[in-house]
Amino acid sequence: MVGLAAYAVMRVSSRLAHTRARTVYDLLEAVEFVADRLPDSLSAKLSYDDVQEILLWRLDHFRLRGSATYGRGDVTATKAESREEEVVTSDDDSVDYVLAKASESGRDIDALDVVVVLDLESQYLEAIGALGPPAGESD
């Protein structure tokens, strides 16, 4: 009986060790994290809705790259993720994507606003364990 239990624990441990960890991104928590840390000049300019839109646009960018998903039914992210290649996203690409979306929406959001918000979001992502090592850095 003890042998069977030990085998089961080792098998589950082995499977978990080879399964990519998934981190859950809480949008409302991220918005609050970022908004609470904005410099005064930006908190006077950007509303919580603006911050939320910027974060959603970046999440959409991550999703299209295959490094985030909206859940099990997210066909776009699943297809991107199944490419079996390491996903590297550039901050410049994210900023460009968000600026394009902001322009389409008619919001008064400029590059500095986006850079500050995304930097703060990166701090949030690091705090929840969602960021891997920088590209080119080995374990």
Which ranges of 18-135 would DSSP assign to H, the alpha helix?
27-37, 40-45, 48-65, 75-81, 91-105, 111-127
Average of per-residue pLDDT values in the chain: 78
Nearest Cα to Cα of residue 22 among 68, 57, 63, 55: 68
**The predicted structure's pLDDT at residue 49:** 96
Tokens of 133: 């090592």
What radius of gyration, in Å, describes the C-alpha atoms of the chain?
19
Mean pLDDT value across residues 117-122 = 94
Is 60 exceeded by the pLDDT of residue 14?
A: no
Is 90 exceeded by the pLDDT of residue 7?
A: no
**Between 30 and 18, whose confidence is greater?**
30
Give the torsion sign (CA, 74, 77, 79, 83). Answer: negative
Sequence-separated (6 or more) residues with CB below 8 Å from residue 106: none
**The predicted structure's pLDDT at residue 23:** 72
- pLDDT tens sequence across 66-95: 666 555 555 555 665 666 655 556 678 889
- pLDDT tens sequence across 33-58: 999 999 999 999 999 999 999 999 99
Per-residue pLDDT band for 10 (boundaries 50, 70, 90) equals low
